[in-house]
Chains A and B, each alone.
Chain A
Amino acid sequence: MSILVVMEQRQDRIANISFEAIAAAKQLAAHSQAPINAALLGAQTESFAAEIAARGVNKVIRVEHPLLAHYTADGFTLALEQLIHKEQPSHLILPHTYQVRDYAPALAARLGQTLISDVVAIAATENASLVFTRQLMQGRLNGDYRATGAGPCFVSVQAGAFRAQTAEAPSSPIEVFTPTIDPAQIRTKPGEPFRGSSQTVDLGSAQFIVSVGRGIKDAENIPLVRQLATVLGAELAASRPICDNGWLSMDHQVGSSGQTVSPKLYLAVGISGAIQHLVGMKGSQCIVAINKDPDAPIFEVADYGIVGDLFEVVPALTDAVKAARQ
């Protein structure tokens, strides 16, 4: 039995979350002693395969086919289905990316399995069965999941949950697997990726960011946080729902679908802290959260917190900063 890790290529690099998936597989292997094989899908995978081979895996499998040059759910599902039949892994570990979310549930279902998605921790119980922890209720709770089926167990891991090892290891063997794919089996036609509308708000280089979330309740309350941002000399940012509602333009968005920031100060106002938001800001030097819910997940990453009504706390804070700066 082996563990199969599916690596993800992103434009001109291997996405780091793929190496985190290898780290998760190593944690799993510590319990089962199974060898870890890494698969990379594409039309030309040679150079990246060499990079992966230096990361301490048993072997690297280049799953190559001209029809895998561009990602499609149909192509990737077919190719991996065939690879699984050949390799018979006990576990499949995937990075929880948008791409994996697009095909892995279908791949698992095709084999009568259910993907355990967005896993943040792996542990073994006393009777050696494996427990996969994932977040529930927008990060407010954790759930421990267990696979009870006989087939391969599918697991996708959350970005940042496992630490990728950077140390170079002796190079492992690389082999090529050529799946059988008929052009007619690819039903979707993907276009080239393109950037959204030009970014006019550069949050990436901001030293101070005041970010606003759902707690602000209405577009007409936005000036309240804008004032705080102004006295702090901070950029104004937002969580996704604020941009979805059109209260601030999309280029203010921090999170997995927006910008990733790491300012000196990140002040989150009325943001509960769903994982999609946290991944975009948890690298900030100092995080302050103002929220009425003491159990909001934002407090799990905050250095300082004020539990209270933002409509009272924010004006008070604006005044306090003004006074301090005079």
Chain B
Amino acid sequence: MKIIVAIKQVPERDAQVRIDSAGKWIEESNLQYALNEPDAYALEEALQLKEKHGGEVIVLSAGPERVGQTIREALAKGADRAIHIDCDDLGTRDALGIARLLAAAAKQENPDLILTGLQSEDLGLGQTGVIVAELLGLPHSTLILHIEKTESGLTVKRELEEGWFQTIELPLPAVLTIQSGGNKLRYATLMGIKRAKTKEMRRVTAAELAVDGAPVVVLDRVTLPHKQKSTQILSGSPKEAAAALVEKLKFEARIL
């Protein structure tokens, strides 16, 4: 199977994010970046499918030069090669615009399967995979925890809400978005990191893909959320704060 995994580089989970001076996005200088976690599960699923059935895993990512580092990490974990859509203007494109870039690059490869995480940890739109499927005219399914290859295509386990699941059969080629937790994530080995340096990372520019980049939805402003409740913050040393909390729970909330 030839599998493309679309991955996104996002600010590190614990990074302190600040709104930029224009109030339109976050301050990007000094920000640490990492692989979007749901995409890490998509990559893991792809690598396991390759180990079982053979084939090739190609990593696909769009973004500025710094994205190359996250792509290298994916190659170090075992992807065979990568395509980097080099563009500095991701922020001005909406979900459709970005999916158009990914779909155009994926189409050239004629893959059997395209995987991606169910959503990103920064924007959280949760749409990219589904739009890519629509643009390529491929069947899709979302929130997938397990993939089984069959003679006619795939049988997948889809997560529903409130602890329910569902099995879905679909033909190949197809697009799936992967829910986290289906597999245990692997770490890159030293050998993998070494090998990644020699693996092919093809660069293509957004201009070369010649897709419509004009957005129909724009992010105008970024703000701090309003608090829903007024939280009493209990300060002091850990011991003092703990004692204060017990007092509050006993005499104010009256639940201890």
Contacts and interface: CB of A to CB of B under 8 A. Distances in A.
B188 interface: no
A95 B246 CA distance: 40
A271 to B, nearest CB: 13
A315 B243 CA distance: 12
Contacts of A306: 233-234, 238, 241-242, 245
B187 interface: no
A157 to B, nearest CB: 14
Contact of B164 (A147, A194, A214): A194
Contacts of A320: 239, 242-243, 245-246
A108 B127 CA distance: 10
Contacts of B249: 265, 286, 288, 304
A114 B181 contact: no
A143 to B, nearest CB: 5
A94 to B, nearest CB: 12
B225 A299 contact: no
Interface in B11-67: 11, 13-14, 16-17, 19, 26
Interface in B206-256: 215-225, 227-229, 231-235, 238-239, 241-243, 245-246, 248-250, 253, 255-256
A113 B220 CA distance: 17
Contact of B141 (A102, A243, A264): A102
Given A144-B223, A146-B220, A258 B250 contact: no
A98 B228 contact: no
Interface centre among A117, A265, A295, A304 (most CB of B within 10 A): A304
Nearest to A322: B246
A103 interface: yes
B225 A300 contact: yes
A196 B246 contact: no
A149 B216 contact: yes
B161 to A, nearest CB: 5
Nearest to B19: A141
Contact of B231 (A144, A195, A259, A303): A303
B164 A112 contact: no
B231 A105 contact: no
Contact of B221 (A144, A243, A294, A304): A144
B96 interface: yes
Contacts of A136: 122-124, 222
Interface in A158-205: 187-196, 199
Interface residues on A, range: 35 or more
Contact of A188 (B168, B235, B239): B168
B104 interface: no
Interface string A286-326: 11110001110101111111111100110111011101100
Contacts of B163: 195-196, 199, 257-259
B229 A114 contact: no
Given A192-B166, A194-B166, A109 B99 contact: yes
B121 interface: yes
A318 B244 CA distance: 13
B217 A141 contact: no
A195 B167 CA distance: 11
Contacts of A288: 245, 249
B180 A112 contact: no
B229 A300 contact: yes
Interface residues of B, number: 79
Contacts of A244: 180-181
A117 B224 contact: no
Contacts of A137: 11, 17, 26, 121-122
A246 B164 CA distance: 19
A227 interface: no
A299 B130 CA distance: 33
A114 B126 contact: no
B204 interface: no
B19 to A, nearest CB: 7
B124 A196 contact: no
Identify the 6 closest CB pairs spanning chains A and B, nearest first. A149-B216, A244-B181, A105-B127, A187-B139, A191-B167, A106-B134
25 contacts: A73-B130, A73-B139, A98-B143, A98-B159, A105-B127, A109-B135, A114-B217, A117-B125, A117-B126, A117-B127, A135-B124, A142-B225, A145-B218, A147-B216, A148-B218, A187-B139, A195-B163, A196-B164, A240-B180, A241-B180, A246-B184, A260-B162, A307-B233, A313-B241, A320-B245
Interface of B: 11, 13-14, 16-17, 19, 26, 94-97, 99, 118, 121-127, 130-131, 133-135, 139-143, 159-171, 179-181, 184, 215-225, 227-229, 231-235, 238-239, 241-243, 245-246, 248-250, 253, 255-256
Given A102-B130, A139-B225, A301-B228, 4 more contacts: A114-B94, A138-B13, A148-B218, A300-B227
Interface of A: 73-74, 77, 97-98, 101-103, 105-106, 108-110, 112-118, 131, 134-149, 151, 187-196, 199, 208, 214, 240-241, 243-246, 250, 256-260, 264-265, 285-289, 293-295, 297, 299-309, 312-313, 315-317, 319-321, 323-324
